[in-house]
Amino acid sequence: MCCFSQPVESVAETRIFARSLEGLQTIVYSMAYEATTELAMVLPIPVPPGCAEDAVEFIDLESCPDFFEHLREGFPKPVSPGRRRAGVELLSLDNAPRLQVLEVGQFEASFVPKPEDFGRLDERFRLPIDVWLELNAYRDWGFAVFKLKSARRAARVHPMAFAFPQRDRTRLFFPTLHIHDRRLDAAAHFDHELYCQPEPALNWYLQGWEESWGAARRFVTCEAAWKVLDAARPVWRLAVAGTRENADTWLGPGGEVPAPAVASERPRKKTRQVESEIEGLDII
């Protein structure tokens, strides 16, 4: 899922890489965007409940801005995603001690262990409580938060990367659920490229994915990329486009890519009355 703390003019060319190793999953995320103000992007991650505040390791890929361009070299026909819009405003949750903010390349980044901890971040990083009232399944997830600069023209930032302890070691997770313009729709427009280097046990679930023509070392030349890639193994890619069920993507047992929406179905807003309390927590 990708949420924004302030409205954005546009978001395009979403690219996500995922890999797991010994109970840790790595995600690399990239996009191009336009925004008139500074804002934060938030990615939920399925960490085990009760994770410590230092459970997520942020990885600096500033020296490898073309990470996904390198990955594309492993495939004969690049995908050209379309454009999409997104926007969310933030609300305060509480006045608890602030969470740590780290410098990661061009970003300021933080890990939020659970939704009610958003109030411990600077106001510019917070998410609205009504979103989590609608997304009940995410109430015990963690969140990786990245501050972005304003960009009046489409800007592509260097890839955001981090590793987190997996809640489910049998599957790979891709954050693809959309929250746009302060609402959660049943269907959403996808223009994503998903990449991965799955463990052998997941090979059975790669039907429909495209394998690179060689091992990653054959087409990736950026040294920093080896922080997240296995040079000796191929990369797999899947283009996910069109109007689909608004959901995250999983690779593995019981996992699936969001299904195409019914042709006659227009994205509709899921509604729920915003409450002033969540699990006994007063909202300011």
Give 122-136 pLDDT, tens digit per residue: 776 666 666 666 777
What is the rounded distance in angstroms from the CA atom of residue 20 to the CA atom of residue 166?
Answer: 8
Cα–Cα distance, 6 to 40 (Å, whole number)? 7
Residue type for position 170: T
User: Which pLDDT score, from 0 to 100, does residue 135 have?
Assistant: 74
Q: In this predicted model, what pLDDT tens digit does every residue of 33-74 receive, in sequence order?
A: 776 777 777 888 999 998 899 999 999 999 999 999 999 999
What pLDDT was estimated at residue 151?
A: 53
- Polymer length of the chain: 284
pLDDT of residue 240: 93
Q: Are 119 and 95 in contact (CB under 8 A)?
A: yes
- Give the model's pLDDT for residue 133: 62
| Sequence-ordered list of residues with C-beta below 8 angstroms from that of 174, at least 6 positions apart, any chain | 16, 18, 27, 194, 248, 249, 250, 251
Output the six-digit token pair for 282: 């007063």
pLDDT of residue 280: 36
The b/e string for 111-148 (b: 16+ C-beta within 10 A; e otherwise) is: bbbbbbbbbbbbeebbbbbbbbeebeebeebbbbbbbb
pTM of the model as a whole: 0.79
- Residue segments in the chain with a per-residue pLDDT below the cut of 70: 1-2, 5-9, 35, 77-107, 124-133, 149-156, 180-183, 263-284
Identify the pLDDT of residue 273: 32
DSSP run (H or E) holding 28: strand 24-35
Contact of 141 with 45, CB cutoff 8 Å: yes
* Predicted local distance difference test score (pLDDT) of residue 92: 34
